[in-house]
Amino acid sequence: MDKLGRIRQPVETELHEYVRLFDEALRHEDDLLRRALKYVGARKGKMMRPILVLLVAKELGPVVGEASLRSAVTLELLHTASLVHDDVVDESDERRGQASVNAVFGNKVAVLVGDYLLSEALDQAARTGDLAIVRTIARLGATLSEGEVFQLSNIREQQATEEAYFRIIRSKTAALFASCTRIAAISAGGSDDFTRVATRFGEIVGECFQIRDDIFDYFDDDAIGKPTGNDLREGKLTLPLLYALGLEGGEVMDGEVRRVKDGTASDDDIARLIDFAKRRGGIAYAESVMMRLREEATALLGNFKNDEVRATLAAYLDFVIERNI
């Protein structure tokens, strides 16, 4: 059994029920909407977020009833909606090596499908019967949008900082994972103190997930589903390059950075920036940040009493940090 299989094992039964509820949420009588939703639902991926929800909920006892399961469905629907909308905004025709929804069905249908998924996410949240869960989901939708808008405005700014980088990822990927663990704790009846611990653990997972994802962009790997330098082509300066630029002498790349920011960077510009980030220790720095975050997360796991859950969450975090895709 591979590492992800071992991580899934404690919640394998619950995951089967989650998949049933998720597929049920994507059924529709209209032919076009049914086909679009079926296309969306066919790509369940590794189910990292549902696994995280169910593991945290299991810390508080057996996952009984539907509150935690529907919480997992809610978060995955909202996440899926955000990806559908992101591909339209980014004019992307590919998502993880497959044609995006907008590439297959067009932008109009993709936007409407994303809207439908958002509405269905709120309906699933309401079915938990917990107003705190509904509020968390509503706030997450707003936070993700705020993160996207700030990222767009940051691209236009000539100055790029590590502080702005972390603000963006905390408003996007980290907010999503933090909501997973927060809602899991709420749905399973966790105390306020435990909910705060779980939320911070999820936020750290999300920060590490995004940092690792950004590191991928500095290397060639067709399996990743995005070409090397894709972030730079979109005007995004990520942690490895920000660190390298912040060192003495980083101004030697000012011309390339300006062209990245205004969308005129050539392939040679991007190649030079990637090489610069590697030579100046940017990858090693980004990995050291993840190690510091791992230490904080490990300390938080000391608050978990279920030995199996605690060990599995530690393995989950290691998988996020060490993954190759």
CA distance linking residue 229 with residue 172, whole number of Å: 20
**What's this model's pTM, rounded to 2 decimal places?**
0.92
Closest CA to 212 of 224, 199, 202: 224
The dihedral of CA 205, 206, 210, 211: what is its sign? negative
What's the pLDDT score for residue 226? Answer: 55
What's the pLDDT score for residue 7? Answer: 96
| Domains of the chain by residue range | 3-322
CA dihedral in degrees (303, 309, 310, 314; nearest 10)?
-140
Question: 3-322, what's its fold?
Answer: Farnesyl Diphosphate Synthase (1.10.600)
What's the pLDDT score for residue 78? Answer: 94
What's the pLDDT score for residue 282? Answer: 96
Tokens of 175: 């907010």
pLDDT by residue for the chain (325 residues), tens only, comes to 788 889 999 999 999 999 999 999 999 988 898 998 898 888 778 899 999 999 999 999 988 789 999 999 999 999 999 988 988 887 888 777 788 889 988 889 999 999 999 999 999 999 999 999 999 999 999 999 898 888 888 777 767 789 999 999 999 999 999 999 999 999 999 999 999 999 999 999 999 999 999 999 998 866 555 557 889 998 899 999 999 999 877 788 889 988 998 889 999 999 999 999 999 999 999 999 999 999 999 999 999 999 999 999 999 999 999 987 7
What's the pLDDT score for residue 224? Answer: 54
